Amino acid sequence: MEMTDGLGGAGGCAPGAYVGGVMAAQGIPGAVLVLHGQNGCRKGLSLCNRLYPRKDSPRGPDGHRSVEFTGVTAADYTNGASYRKLEEKLSALSGRYGMYLLFTSPGLSIVGDDCLRAARAAGTGDRVVSFDPDQLGTGCPEGFDTVVREVLRRTVPDREEAIPGTVNVLGLSIMHKDWRCVKQEVGHLLGKAGLKVLSFPGAGSSLEELRASASAEFNIVLCPEHCAKTAAFYTEMFGTPAVSSGESPVGFDAFERFYCRVSDETGHETEHGFQMLKNSRRRAYECILASDTDLTGLSYRIDSVPSTADPLGRWLESSLGMVPAAGRPDVLFAPGDDALFAERSGRCGTGIDIGFPSSAYVDFSKAPVMGLDGAMYILGSLFNRAGRS
């Protein structure tokens, strides 16, 4: 299997740290993402509103919902107008949001506009967090993690003591396939175990919920690559322990390991989760018997972060009899557009979307990768599209 920075591969251009950081900002209601850059950069971030539509998102010159941006032109690079446009944009937004997450585009960062000076002049200085591309790290997950940690650093208050039976869920982003479904399932199963979720930082939790997150007794880690810095922040600031199985709950076996770890570390029994796992395994077994489809010997390749690729690969081999590909795979698990293009160009037999969502396809039915619904999505994709009758 091939492991990438998490959300690209298969011949496509993997989103980098800048995109990861921007998507973290988009996933925090109450804060606003502001792009200091050109219209072309704004178009490149149009997926923000597909992954997490927000009613307060402005419409760009093309009429589509987009992100707030300063609209710098080529001429502005040399006549000093880029700083003026930044100050005007922040002034227009002043008083409307609890936090302003300002991203300077890679091209404009060489100009060196004083973003914090502009923020002070616009009256938003104490609520602006500014990010340059070189601050965000090297990969998409690290960019996401960096922005979430910085927002928390500026948001969460001191606490006196943790509230028993409360948790934050770390490492879920709006870039994860069908992230809402994952959020719903995890919240339900933890709730049945007597654990109250205070926040999912970067995945739809508001600034108010992020402030409350300081009181969590535990942090539950869903995707380690997306929250290493964030988990360390909570531990250093409040002593909050991170509960992690070292992998994401992808496939039935990893799901079981994940909730066993939650039970062991928190002392809260996750029996409801194990019963749901038993039911899902039974349903999967019955569906496989009814399908008359054989996956044994089919080759696969996985383009994803290790915490997804490792458990998925082990599950495919131990439960379904598939084998790692030495060349062209029968099945490619990859981010949406990469999987689609690889299949249509003949670089694989079947492409299955498990990463950065496709720009050409919208999931109406449940289609996550993590959790029980994720296992059923993967099995359905394999047996209905890739198997041999």
Joined tokens for residue 297: 């010997």
Which helix (H) or strand (E) is 21 found in, with range?
A: helix 17-26
Query: What's the CA gap between 54 and 45, in Å, rounded?
Result: 14
May I ask the CATH class of domain 17-137? alpha beta
Residue 2 Rama label (left phi>0; alpha psi -120 to 50; beta): beta
Q: What is the DSSP letter of 291?
A: H
Residue extents of the structural domains in the chain: 17-137, 155-275, 284-386
Block residue for tokens 């928190």: 266
Same fold, 17-137 and 284-386: yes
Block means of pLDDT (10 residues each) for the chain, 389 residues, are: 38 74 94 84 68 74 75 78 89 93 82 83 88 88 97 90 96 95 98 98 97 97 97 96 98 98 97 97 95 93 97 98 96 94 96 85 88 97 83
pLDDT for 211 equals 96
pLDDT for 44 equals 61
Q: What is the DSSP letter of 57?
A: P
Q: What is the DSSP letter of 384?
A: I
Contact between residue 72 and residue 110 where contact means Cβ atoms under 8 Å apart? no
- Which residue in 305, 354, 300 sits closest to 330, CA to CA? 300
97 CB neighbour count, 10 Å cutoff:
19
CATH entry, 155-275, from 3.40.640.10, 3.40.50.1980, 3.40.50.300, 2.102.10.10: 3.40.50.1980
pLDDT for 324 equals 98
Partner residues linked to 375 by β-bridges: none
- Three-state secondary-structure class, residue 180: helix
CATH fold of the domain at 284-386: Rossmann fold (3.40.50)
What amino acid occupies position 243? Answer: V
- Three-state secondary-structure class, residue 39: helix
Which helix (H) or strand (E) is 198 found in, with range?
A: strand 196-199
pTM attached to this predicted model: 0.92
